[in-house]
Amino acid sequence: MYKILKYSIFDLLRSRWSYVYFLFYLLLGFVLLFLNNDLSKAVITLMNIILVLTPLIGSAFGVMYYYNSKEFTELLLAQPIRRNKIFFGQYTGISLSLTLSLVLGLGIPFVSYGLFRTSEIFDFTLLLIVGSFLNFIFVALSYNIALSTDNKIKGFGYAILMWLFLSVIYDGLFLISLLMFSDYPLDQFSLFATILNPIDLSRILILLKLDISALLGYTGAVFRKFFGTGLGMILSLTALSLWVVFPLLLMRRKFNRKDF
């Protein structure tokens, strides 16, 4: 599994898209710090970008890598190698390479700016942790989609539709539900609905750490009311971890049953 993981990382590092992804975040970090000297405001701006862009890149990369490496996967399956090792090696390689581009791309400009001498280092670290979670989550979700269909166009379309639903459409439906049933107690419903969307969950986790009550929204206020800042963050991290585990279990089941 380690050899497959190493090959997957090196294969992606040779891809020009990995460098484009890294250079985008590198340039973004320098531009934000050049235009705004306040690190806390820069972190908030990065939060809005990462919560939209990271899931999109993870979904697209996961689907494209699966289809592009399908012949190599079939070659590995012909060898005396367990399917789980192939599956975990490729998945971990994609997720780690995307996470590495994110961490280095944003870390270099902020560290050069003097991040370690400020109190915003904890907020920035949490932002990178959340971005890493989103990479692992959406690569797993996109791999599940790719394993469900052999048609590249359909697989890529379903992956983009999944990202669009979780990042935009889900919030619209959630808001409509809150407005339609505003006469009823919706606290527990709001908590449950938020946990079902990793992007909303990540947003609330960061805002709880930043302690910005004006930006928390209804669900964030419910999190603070029921769990407080500390317990709310622990609950959010636990839910994000489950969002990694469950797609992985489903993906392993599909990978073991799929006829290549």
At residue 226, the pLDDT reads 59
pLDDT tens per residue, range 63-101: 988 888 888 878 877 887 787 888 888 888 888 888 988
Higher pLDDT, 159 or 218: 159
Q: Average pLDDT in the 234-239 region?
A: 83
Helix axes 83-113, 39-68, angle to 10 degrees: 150
Confidence at residue 83, expressed as pLDDT on a 0 to 100 scale: 79
User: What confidence tens digit (pLDDT) does each residue in 104-149 have?
Assistant: 998 888 888 877 777 778 888 888 999 999 999 999 999 999 988 8
- pLDDT greater than 70 at residue 223: no
Residue 150's CB is within 10 A of a number of other CB atoms, namely 12
Q: Of 165, 189, 163, whose CA–CA distance to 178 is shortest?
A: 189
Which of the two residues, 241 and 182, has the higher pLDDT score? 241
Between 221 and 124, the more confident residue is 124
Identify the pLDDT of residue 145.
92
Helices (H) and strands (E) in the chain, counts: 11, 0
Which of residues 144 and 179 earns the better pLDDT score? 144
Write the burial class of residue 97 (CB in 10 Å: 0-12 exposed, 13-18 middle, 19+ buried).
buried
Assess whether pLDDT exceeds 70 at residue 216: no
Candidate from 110-114, 152-156, 227-231 with smallest mean pLDDT: 227-231
CB atoms within 10 A of CB 248: 19
Q: What is the structure's pLDDT at 158?
A: 93
| pLDDT single digits (tens) 1-56 | 677 777 777 776 677 777 888 888 889 888 888 887 777 778 778 888 888 899 99
CB 88 within 8 A of CB 2: no
